[in-house]
Amino acid sequence: MIKPSLGYNAAMSTTTNPGLHLLGATREDLLAFMAKRGYKSAHAFSLFKAIHRGHLLDFTHLDSLPLTLRQHLASDFPCSPPKVLHTHTATDGTQKYLIALNDGSAIETVFIPEPSRGTLCVSSQVGCALNCDFCATGKQGFSRNLTAAEIIAQIWIATREHTITNVVFMGMGEPLLNLEHVIPAISILLDDCAYNLSKYTVTVSTAGLIPQMQQLAQQTEVSLALSLHAPNDLLRTQLMPINKKYPLLELMAVCKNYFKHPKRKILFEYILIDGVNDTDALAHELAQLLTDVPAKINLIPFNPIAHSGYQRSTDARIKVFQTILRDHGFKTFVRKTRGPLIDAACGQLKGDFIEKTKRRA
Ligand code: SAH
């Protein structure tokens, strides 16, 4: 149930690199565009499929569209495919793309192959304003929101080389601070004429912004991951300044009723940092906090970043922490670290940009 909040004007009107802006147009945007210019709705479907399934942004030879429409598109939306500056592939097959944006900054996107699926970890902002203490993106500050086109460009690029079965908004940025563009991007990801993903295989990860979580739940049914990292306010605020604004009691109240379907669960992410948040007592406290919350837990071994002073918990400690949570009855997994040598693991994405805005948290 997606209700795109953008009309085609908002999605397609910016003058810089208009070819890119077609990438962010939802099916509804294109239908409105065609109707306004007197073209058939079938042409909107052809165009939408050509862009996302056919990887086309130059429609000169797309004979299924009338010549006048092709000329119209060529003049209003000249072709300009997104540009990949670099790709790095790790020995485990994880591939990191550095993608150029029009303003000279760059963002990172990571493809993670697994035997039964291909996951793409996408960025939603250039930088991040939340300044979490353990995250390389946060340490760089914030520049701007990505447009829907810039979000979709990431999957458009990756699907040329890989089969993508899952998309996670766990790259650079806080997706819930960019719902204006994340919601139409989700609509394109789920559209069966585009990437045809399901609400179960698209996951938005958030640091826990309460009003925006409520808005997201109203507008889409995609999966939700919540970065928790501590079971009490004192420690969580130290690690994640946003916790001051949205403390745990209020956050858990929203989580309890987030999904209407009784079987759906929120994925709680918990980074394990040596001696900081990985004791037995904190594992029990976490279990206590999540009592009555439909939860599954993903433990993430901390990925080292420069100047943080934090270390990864030992494997033995991670195992004990996991066992305690399992004994409390929670489905608990340990996330396998992928692509660390190419700095493609969680929290290591930095991109390349100039900070423009003061952090907001
Ligand atoms: N802002 C969103 C999404 C981006 S971060 C959020 O907070 O969820 C995606 C995941 O990577 C989050 O769970 C985040 O806490 C985690 N992460 C950040 N830095 C990390 C690090 N150094 N090691 C391991 N995981 C990290």
Query: Which residue has its alpha carbon closest to ligand 1 atom 26?
Result: 347
Assign domain 84-342 to a CATH class.
Answer: alpha beta
Q: Is 346 a catalytic residue?
A: yes
Which of the four pLDDT bands, split at 50, 70 and 90, describes residue 257?
A: very high
Domain with CATH 1.10.150 in the chain: 8-76
Distance 184 CA to ligand 1 centre (A): 23
Does ligand 1 have an atom closer than 6 angstroms to the CB of 347?
A: yes
Handedness of CA 329, 284, 222, 271 (dihedral sign): negative
Which of the four pLDDT bands, split at 50, 70 and 90, describes residue 356?
A: low
Does ligand 1 have an atom closer than 6 angstroms to the CB of 134?
A: yes
Which of the four pLDDT bands, split at 50, 70 and 90, describes residue 119?
A: very high
The mean pLDDT of 13-31, rounded to a whole number, is: 72
pLDDT at 308: 85
Does ligand 1 have an atom closer than 6 angstroms to the CB of 205?
A: yes
Q: Are strands 117-121 and 106-114 parallel, antiparallel or unpaired?
A: antiparallel
Residue 203 has pLDDT above 70, yes or no: yes
Contact between residue 340 and residue 303 where contact means Cβ atoms under 8 Å apart: yes
Nearest-atom index, ligand 1, CA of 207: 7
Distance 24 CA to ligand 1 centre (A): 25
Higher-scoring residue by pLDDT: 153, 140:
153
pTM above 0.75, yes or no: yes
pLDDT at 361: 37
Q: Is 108 a catalytic residue?
A: yes
- Dump pLDDT digits (tens) for 56-70: 988 989 999 999 999
Distance 299 CA to ligand 1 centre (A): 11
Does ligand 1 have an atom closer than 6 angstroms to the CB of 207?
A: yes
Residue 8 has pLDDT above 90, yes or no: no
Does ligand 1 have an atom closer than 6 angstroms to the CB of 170?
A: yes
Does ligand 1 have an atom closer than 6 angstroms to the CB of 271?
A: yes
Estimate to the nearest angstrom the gap between the alpha carbon of 315 and the chain centroid.
28
Higher-scoring residue by pLDDT: 2, 350:
350
Residue 325 has pLDDT above 80, yes or no: yes
Does ligand 1 have an atom closer than 6 angstroms to the CB of 230?
A: no
Counting ligand 1 atoms within 8 A of each CB, the residue from 119, 125, 135 with the most, and so the one to mutate, is 135
* Backbone phi and psi for residue 301, each to the nearest 5 degrees, phi listed first: -60, 130
pLDDT at 338: 74
| CA–CA dist 253, 262 (Å, integer) | 15
Residue 12 has pLDDT above 50, yes or no: no
Q: 108, 150, 174, 221: which is the annotated catalytic residue? A: 108
The mean pLDDT of 107-118, rounded to a whole number, is: 95
Distance 273 CA to ligand 1 centre (A): 13
Q: Are strands 223-227 and 266-272 parallel, antiparallel or unpaired?
A: parallel
Domain with CATH 3.20.20.70 in the chain: 84-342
Contact between residue 155 and residue 97 where contact means Cβ atoms under 8 Å apart: no
Query: Which residue has its alpha carbon closest to ligand 1 atom 11?
Result: 346
Nearest of 277, 346, 357, 358 to residue 136 by alpha carbon: 346
- Dump pLDDT digits (tens) for 67-78: 999 998 888 877
Nearest-atom index, ligand 1, CA of 171: 4
Distance 210 CA to ligand 1 centre (A): 18
Nearest of 145, 168, 89 to residue 344 by alpha carbon: 89
Higher-scoring residue by pLDDT: 87, 6:
87
Architecture of domain 8-76: Orthogonal Bundle (1.10)
